[in-house]
């Protein structure tokens, strides 16, 4: 069975009221339309995903996905996508609005199962509100259990849908409408309450989050004839930090803070200093896998606050460089990073410029 998945993400989203088209705004850390793409790929149910976008180059190439440029109206974009796949021996086609990012693989499987005996399967939920219907001057009560709020993805026998779509000249808001307008049978199945449609900006903030904090500390001795690295930046100085790696206290500290927030032990567990493979390693190579771990677990960084504890070099002169470097390495906005310099009144090892220490605290959030 050749199943295709069409994602409609070319709309202007007039009700959304933003300069950036709705499908490109960030929702749970990524552009809205990407949620649908990722779920469809993950399901492994589809031979190909057809992504209909306003700007074709807004999506990085992927072997599972063909991108085509959409039209001004949703029904025209849908028609164009169906035409695009018409010679590809398609059996079934799923059509989905990118504005619904939360559908599950379970729903996809359920739709597919029901399509064996039907030509159209459409998910719906009931309304919780008392419902009235206004007809000319009269308002009548409707039994709310008789009201079906239909969702996407909707799935269809390709040929039947293609023929209906080809003939259609009227503006429709979903493909179920095509079937109803032509007196064709639809199998309605239970949809998902969480499969909401993002319509207004405020809909973006409705997802529950969990926040965690992590703390990091590190100190290294300064030694002659070594380069000094702080936050990934090479800093001209009389000495460098002695360590198994390049001794970048700021990056080590951040790795530990992130691992703390993730509840994944510490830097020594990930990069044991008795293993030669980590000898003289640049510390950004220790940070990168932790950033990936965050992303793969749906975490985003809220803010990062750092104390660099040393007599010299002067933090004020390095601040912008280090913050830019960290923003780049961690793939975050530099506005959420703060770097403070702290001297120790010339006391002890640090005060005598024999060591540099660092502490950091980070906050991360996960979307449910």
> Applying CB under 5 A, which residues contact Zn ion?
218, 252
Residue 31 tokens read as: 């552009």
Min dist. Cβ of residue 216 to Zn ion (A): 10
For Zn ion, the closer of residues 98 and 326 by Cβ is: 326
Q: CA–CA separation, 52 vs 75, rounded Å?
A: 12
The least CB distance from residue 220 to Zn ion, in Å, is 5
Close Cβ partners of 268 (under 8 Å, ≥ 6 residues apart): none
Q: Check if the beta carbon of residue 306 is closer than 8 Å to that of residue 340.
A: yes
Between 119 and 252, name the residue whose CB sits nearer to Zn ion. 252
**Which one, 248 or 311, has the nearer CB to Zn ion?**
248
Closest distance to Zn ion from the beta carbon of 189 (Å)? 56
| Rounded least distance, CB 307 to Zn ion, Å | 15
Cβ proximity to Zn ion, 304 vs 357, nearer residue = 357
Three-state helix/strand/coil letters over 279-332: CCCCCHHHHHHHHHHHHHCCEEEEEEEEEEECCCCCHHHHHHHHHHHHHHHHCC
CB 230 within 8 A of CB 243: no
What is the C-alpha separation between 175 and 164, in angstroms, rounded? 9
Output 212 or 217, the one with its CB closest to Zn ion.
Answer: 217
Q: How far is the CB of 249 from Zn ion (least distance, A)?
A: 6
Contacts of 317 (CB under 8 A, 6+ apart): none
């Amino acid at each position: 069975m050749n199943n295709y998945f069409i994602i409609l993400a070319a709309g202007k989203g007039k009700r959304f009221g933003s300069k950036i088209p709705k499908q490109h705004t960030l929702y749970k850390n990524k552009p809205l339309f990407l949620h649908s793409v990722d779920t469809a790929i993950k399901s492994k149910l589809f031979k190909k995903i057809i992504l209909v976008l306003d700007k074709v180059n807004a999506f990085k190439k992927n072997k599972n996905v063909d991108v085509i440029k959409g039209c001004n109206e949703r029904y025209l974009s849908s028609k164009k996508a169906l035409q695009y796949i018409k010679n590809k021996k398609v059996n079934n086609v799923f059509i989905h609005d990118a504005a619904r990012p939360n559908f599950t693989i379970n729903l996809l499987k359920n739709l597919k199962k029901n399509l064996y005996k039907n030509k159209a399967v459409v998910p719906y939920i009931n309304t919780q509100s008392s419902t009235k219907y206004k007809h000319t001057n009269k308002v009548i009560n409707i039994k709310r259990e008789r009201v079906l709020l239909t969702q996407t993805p909707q799935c269809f026998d390709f040929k039947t849908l293609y023929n209906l779509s080809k003939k259609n000249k009227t503006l429709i808001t979903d493909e179920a409408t095509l079937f109803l307008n032509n007196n064709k049978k639809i199998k309605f199945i239970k949809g998902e309450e969480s499969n909401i449609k993002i319509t207004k900006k405020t809909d973006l903030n409705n997802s529950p989050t969990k926040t965690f904090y992590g703390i990091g500390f590190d100190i290294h001795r300064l030694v002659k004839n070594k380069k000094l690295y702080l936050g990934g930046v090479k800093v001209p100085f009389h000495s460098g930090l002695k360590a198994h790696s390049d001794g970048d206290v700021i990056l080590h500290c951040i790795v530990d803070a992130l691992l703390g927030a993730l509840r994944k032990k510490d830097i020594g567990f990930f990069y044991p200093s008795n293993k030669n493979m980590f000898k003289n390693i640049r510390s950004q190579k220790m940070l990168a896998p932790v950033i990936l771990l965050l992303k793969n677990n749906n975490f985003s960084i809220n803010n990062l606050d750092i104390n660099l504890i040393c007599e010299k070099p002067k933090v004020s002169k390095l601040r912008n460089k280090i913050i830019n470097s960290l923003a780049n390495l961690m793939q975050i906005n530099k506005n959420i990073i703060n770097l403070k310099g702290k001297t120790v009144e010339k006391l002890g090892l640090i005060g005598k410029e024999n060591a540099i220490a660092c502490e950091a605290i980070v906050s991360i959030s996960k979307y449910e």
